[in-house]
Structure 1
Amino acid sequence: MLIELRKLRIINALSEETPCYTAEIWIDGALAFHASNRGHGGADDYRQVGAITEAEVNSWLRANRPQRLSHGMTFDPDLEHEVATLVDQAEQHALLRRRLRTHIVTIEDGAVYTYPLKGRPAAVIAGAIRAKKPNIEIVNETGQPGLARAVQLLLAVAADAEDR
């Protein structure tokens, strides 16, 4: 089951305890739900549009996704957690994409680093970094696949920090 968020709109000004957002949830290429959260700490709202129900999605997620550990407690996967993960990925992706305009972003030994351009050409900075560290991945040069890897690494670090 491929679960995607489309037409995601995050309203940071209204986000207090949770992200305030609206989105469409597409499952296997078909619109399934309209989703939203008002940003005040409550649960997400899902309005079913397609034939698949939230219970069917939750059942599939429990069978096909691992349980998650948070603050020493184990939780079964569900649509709300899946959507929260997709929203987090979208936010990190947008943040990192903006960062690429003014920084060189690298993946070094499983961690993401940024080097400011400060008005200098990106090729010069990338060359200097690569001269000192030849085995790094420069996200600015690898495009979407590199950006996706960097986002996954950043989210994994955030998840580890949350579990401590």
Structure 2
Amino acid sequence: MKIELRRISYNAALSQETAAFAAEVWIDGELAFHARNQGTGGADFYRQVGRWTEAEVNAWLTANRLPRSLGDDLACDHDLEIEVSDLLMRAVEGKRLKRLLRTNLIAIERDQILQYPLRKRPLAIVTRAVRATNPDAVIVNDAGDDVFARALDVLLASR
């Protein structure tokens, strides 16, 4: 089951306790739910528009995804709300990372994301300076989608 979010509308200003958003949840290429949260600390709301029910999706996720660790000895089953939350954060942080790429050199160094402001300097000059101090640095700006995905994974893991 491939679950993805489309037509995401996220508002950080309205997000108080939880993320304020509205999105479409697509499963295996078909629209399944309209999802939303008002950002005031409540659970997500799902309106079924496809053939899957929320219970069917939760049962599949529980069987096919690892439980979410919430601390030392506490975990909960992976459900649609956790899946949507993960996908939403990936989309929001991916958009933020793309914005940063316009004005900064972004590098993965020692499993950390570091940013170096370009300040109207050419990307090649800043890249040479970073590689001179750390030849193992992976530059995200001039790399492909796989490196961007890796940078996003590192960024989300540090949160």
- TM-score range for the pair, normalised by the shorter chain length: over 0.9
Q: CA deviation at 1:133?
A: 1.8
Structure 2 unmatched runs, 5+: none
Q: CA deviation at 1:83?
A: 0.3
The aligned residue for residue 61 of structure 2 is: 61
Residues 30-49 of structure 1: per-residue CA shift (max 9 Å, x gap): 00000000110000000001
The aligned residue for residue 2 of structure 1 is: 2
Q: CA deviation at 1:145?
A: 2.0
Residues 24-82 of structure 1: per-residue CA shift (max 9 Å, x gap): 00001100000000110000000001001111110110111001111331111000000
Residues 93-142 of structure 1: per-residue CA shift (max 9 Å, x gap): 01111111111001112221111111211111011111222222100011
Q: Which amino acid aligns with 1:58?
A: N
Q: What TM-score comes out, normalization by structure 1 length?
A: 0.92
The aligned residue for residue 131 of structure 1 is: 132
Give, in whole Å, the separation in 1 of the partners of 2:29 and 2:136: 38
Secondary structure at 1:115's aligned position in 2?
A: strand
Give, in whole Å, the separation in 2 of the partners of 1:157 and 1:128: 25
The aligned residue for residue 51 of structure 1 is: 51
Q: CA deviation at 1:143?
A: 3.2
The within-5 A match list for 1:1-164 is 1-72=1-72, 73-158=74-159
Q: Which amino acid aligns with 1:35?
A: A
Secondary structure at 1:31's aligned position in 2?
A: strand
User: Post-superposition, which runs of at least 4 consecutive aligned residues in structure 1 deviate over 6 A?
Assistant: none
Give, in whole Å, the separation in 2 of the partners of 1:89 and 1:67: 19
Identity of matched residues, %: 50
Secondary structure at 1:101's aligned position in 2?
A: helix
Q: CA deviation at 1:15?
A: 1.2
Q: What TM-score comes out, normalization by structure 2 length?
A: 0.95
Structure 1 unmatched runs, 5+: 159-164
The aligned residue for residue 161 of structure 1 is: none
Secondary structure at 1:142's aligned position in 2?
A: coil
Secondary structure at 1:89's aligned position in 2?
A: helix
The aligned residue for residue 162 of structure 1 is: none
Aligned length: 158
Secondary structure at 2:142's aligned position in 1?
A: helix
